[in-house]
């Protein structure tokens, strides 16, 4: 046999092996731990099965995806699914009637008296993580009612009905029961939280048992007051929209507001009636970027969402697919791109309503991304990645150039030394704050509406404000008190803290393609970036992509607690092969491992070819959905 024939035979053999390997990968990918969701008419996915059922109930009443999303927000808030009614809600909505994506900004603001000087006098470097002084004004009620009034079809009474029934009593799940028990000493400090949440006072286990009925009569009364305000407005001739806003006014300006302010101030908080009455939900235009023909939308710099867009702009300069999924080179490139983006977040992001506004045009410039991409070292981690200067890319001058020059990572040391400085207890506490949860709500319908929401705040342990049943936010801790930390995010009364919450919508050919979000503090846009690339670059289904191995960087500054960072630390999946691990260590990474590393991603893909919907929910927690 000639040399050419032998070579051809070897090539054919190798091709056969390659086909077998691809088939094996596809077969392995198909074995997801949760089955995918399929629907034709509607789909509802969120953090708890009961809450997804609330969304399904609204769809069955004829509501659209906005109605269903509002019902799921209400249900998850009532279930304390890492949020409660005094938290914050942020959403992206695709309106099929206009073909536009709308942003809902329902993040609370710092109350009167909340200043850097106030907290410095308390001996604090940052606002506290827990207690009445951790609270910004409630945003979720206003966000829900604004979404419903402007884009929904049903009444507030219909949408709140499942949540009111749950407030009257629902069987508590084990996750919440165990969280309450863990934090019972802290909960016991606050009288209204204690009387509502610790239902077995003095017993060995003071929390409700898993499956035990949990009653919240004061919250149920508050929700019924909102429905009553709507009913009275309709009786006086108001239309659906005006009647919902009458309920909004009762919460922020009426008797509910008075009790909320009284109960907060009684426990040491700072809210005033004017703080609540002057707060408003903003309906705004989101930001977006184009990645290989797909338009990806995020809320702007009052949350961390643009970091994913910045990372996509940087990663466009690399051939990710040729690197191979979860190869050492792919992981390294992803890690570095995320760190470049998050360094900009840590310096430039903040409430754009307070001047100077963040330089978002420059931050999202493709030319700026190309300059940032040049900083990625191909063979080792850079433990001291710093913010860039996007101002020249929007023809501006950086007002904080002096601060930028002096800005540095909190731990600008090599990765192994950085990780070695942490005791196991300290590292566990750091991880808890770094991943502080929220929930996510995704809803789509056959009419073309698509909704992605990440409501949060008021997680257990939360201070309940008087007899309202409303648990208060803990978002104040996301401010900084010193401009050298982040000049755009310094605490000021009336200002929104830069939050981590980050819903996502992606359009293809001008129509919704992917609707997705995730809980998990500073990990959120890390997980969402990888989910998106799993689908777009590696052809995974939503369920495969939601369960697929993720990495986590800790090189950005924690948005909670003491705002620390751990350069070079890298979490990878336990299935990562030894040769990939060895190469990453050689590049300077300090590795740790998780069996389920994707975070609780919830997602919907709109399959235009078949006119159907694919749903995915990762194997991380209790998130799941329902469809028809």
Q: What is the pLDDT of residues 259-278, one digit of tens each?
A: 999 999 999 999 999 999 99
Strand locations in 237-375, DSSP E? 282-284, 287-291, 294-298
Q: If you average pLDDT over residues 409-413, what whole number do you get? A: 42
Q: Is there a domain that residue 156 lies in?
A: no
Q: Is the pLDDT of residue 43 over 60?
A: yes
Residue 383, CA distances (Å) to 141, 234, 536, 569, 593 in order: 42, 60, 29, 9, 20
Give residue 30's pLDDT band: very low, low, confident or very high (50, 70, 90): low
Q: Is the pLDDT of residue 29 over 60?
A: no
Say which CATH number the domain at 317 has: 3.60.20.40
Give residue 438's pLDDT band: very low, low, confident or very high (50, 70, 90): confident
Q: Is there a domain that residue 578 lies in?
A: yes
Please name the residue ranges forming H helices in 79-170.
116-121, 140-151, 156-168
| Cβ 298 vs Cβ 306: under 8 Å | yes
Q: Is there a domain that residue 322 lies in?
A: yes
621: left (phi over 0), alpha (psi -120 to 50) or beta: beta
Strand 213-214 relative to strand 294-298, pairing: unpaired
DSSP state of 115: -
Q: If you average pLDDT over residues 368-374, what whole number do you get? A: 98
How many Cβ atoms sit within 10 Å of the Cβ of residue 293? 8
Q: Is there a domain that residue 556 lies in?
A: yes
Give residue 421's pLDDT band: very low, low, confident or very high (50, 70, 90): low
Q: If you average pLDDT over residues 153-178, what whole number do you get? A: 97
Mean model confidence pLDDT for the chain: 92
Q: Is there a domain that residue 526 lies in?
A: yes
Closest by CA to 443, choosing from 35, 52, 34, 38, is 52
Domain extent for 416: 284-439+501-627
Q: Is the pLDDT of residue 562 over 90?
A: no
User: Rounded to whole angstroms, how far apart are CA atoms 234 and 241?
Assistant: 10
Give residue 429's pLDDT band: very low, low, confident or very high (50, 70, 90): confident
Q: Is there a domain that residue 346 lies in?
A: yes
Q: Is there a domain that residue 330 lies in?
A: yes
Give residue 413's pLDDT band: very low, low, confident or very high (50, 70, 90): very low
State residue 412's pLDDT score.
39
Q: If you average pLDDT over residues 416-429, what whole number do you get? A: 68
Q: What is the pLDDT of residues 290-340, one digit of tens each?
A: 999 999 999 999 999 999 999 999 999 999 999 999 999 999 999 999 999
Q: Using CA of residue 372, residue 378, residue 381, residue 384, what is the dihedral sign?
A: negative
Q: Is there a domain that residue 62 lies in?
A: no
Q: Tell me the helices (H) and strands (E) count for the chain, helix number first.
A: 24, 19
Strand 37-39 relative to strand 602-607, pairing: unpaired
Domain count within the chain = 1
Percent of the chain with pLDDT over 90: 84
């Amino acid at each position: 046999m000639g040399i050419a024939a032998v070579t051809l035979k070897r090539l054919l053999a190798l091709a056969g092996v390659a086909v077998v390997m691809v088939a094996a990968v596809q077969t392995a990918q198909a074995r997801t731990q949760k089955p995918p969701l399929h629907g034709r008419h509607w789909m509802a996915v969120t953090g708890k099965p009961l809450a997804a059922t609330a969304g399904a109930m609204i769809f069955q009443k004829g509501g659209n995806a906005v109605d269903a999303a509002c019902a799921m927000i209400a249900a998850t808030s009532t279930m304390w699914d890492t949020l409660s009614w005094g938290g914050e809600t942020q959403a992206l909505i695709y309106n099929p009637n206009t073909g536009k994506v709308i942003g809902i900004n329902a993040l609370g603001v710092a109350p009167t008296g909340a200043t850097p000087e106030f907290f410095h006098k308390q001996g604090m470097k940052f606002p506290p993580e827990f207690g009445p002084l951790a609270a910004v004004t409630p945003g979720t009620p206003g966000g829900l009612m604004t979404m419903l009034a402007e884009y929904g079809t049903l009444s507030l009474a219909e949408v709140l009905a499942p949540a009111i029934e749950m407030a009257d009593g629902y069987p508590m799940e084990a996750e919440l029961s165990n969280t309450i028990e863990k934090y019972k000493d802290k909960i016991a400090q606050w009288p209204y939280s204690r009387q509502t949440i610790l239902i077995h006072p003095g017993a060995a286990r003071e929390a409700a048992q898993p499956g035990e009925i949990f009653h919240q009569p004061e919250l149920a009364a508050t929700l019924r007051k909102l429905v009553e305000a709507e009913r009275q407005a309709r009786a006086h001739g108001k239309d659906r929209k005006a009647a919902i806003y009458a309920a909004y006014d009762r919460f922020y300006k009426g008797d509910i507001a008075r009790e909320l302010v009284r109960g907060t101030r009684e426990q040491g908080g700072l809210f005033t009636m004017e703080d609540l009455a002057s707060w408003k939900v903003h309906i705004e235009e989101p930001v977006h970027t184009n990645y290989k023909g797909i338009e990806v939308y995020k809320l702007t710099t009052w949350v961390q969402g643009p970091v994913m867009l910045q990372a996509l702009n940087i990663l466009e300069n690399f051939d990710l697919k040729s690197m191979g999924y979860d190869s050492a080179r792919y992981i390294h490139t992803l890690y570095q791109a995320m760190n470049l983006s998050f360094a900009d977040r840590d310096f430039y992001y903040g409430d754009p309503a307070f001047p100077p506004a963040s330089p978002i045009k420059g931050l999202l410039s493709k030319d700026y991304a190309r300059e940032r991409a040049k900083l990625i070292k191909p063979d080792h981690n850079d433990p001291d990645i710093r913010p860039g200067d996007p101002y020249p890319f929007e023809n501006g001058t950086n007002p904080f150039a002096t601060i930028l020059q002096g800005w540095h990572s909190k731990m600008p040391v090599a990765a192994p030394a950085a990780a070695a400085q942490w005791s196991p207890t300290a590292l566990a506490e750091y991880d808890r704050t770094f991943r502080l949860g929220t929930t996510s709500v995704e809803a789509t319908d056959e009419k073309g509406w698509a909704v992605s929401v990440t409501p949060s705040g008021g997680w257990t342990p939360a201070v309940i404000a008087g007899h309202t049943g409303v648990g208060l936010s803990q978002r104040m801790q996301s401010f900084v008190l010193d401009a050298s930390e982040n000049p755009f995010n310094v605490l000021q009364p009336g200002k929104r803290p830069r939050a981590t919450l980050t819903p996502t919508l992606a359009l293809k050919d001008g129509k919704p393609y992917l609707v997705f979000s995730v809980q998990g503090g500073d990990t959120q846009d890390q997980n969402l970036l990888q989910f998106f690339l799993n689908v777009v670059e590696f052809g995974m289904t939503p369920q495969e992509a939601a369960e697929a191995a993720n990495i986590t960087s800790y090189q950005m500054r924690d948005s909670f607690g003491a705002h620390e960072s751990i350069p070079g630390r890298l979490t990878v999946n336990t299935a990562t092969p030894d040769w990939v691990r060895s190469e990453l260590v050689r590049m300077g990474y300090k590795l740790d491992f998780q069996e389920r590393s994707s975070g609780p991603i919830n997602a919907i893909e709109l399959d235009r070819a078949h006119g159907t919907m694919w749903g995915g929910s990762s194997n991380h927690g209790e998130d799941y959905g329902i469809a028809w």
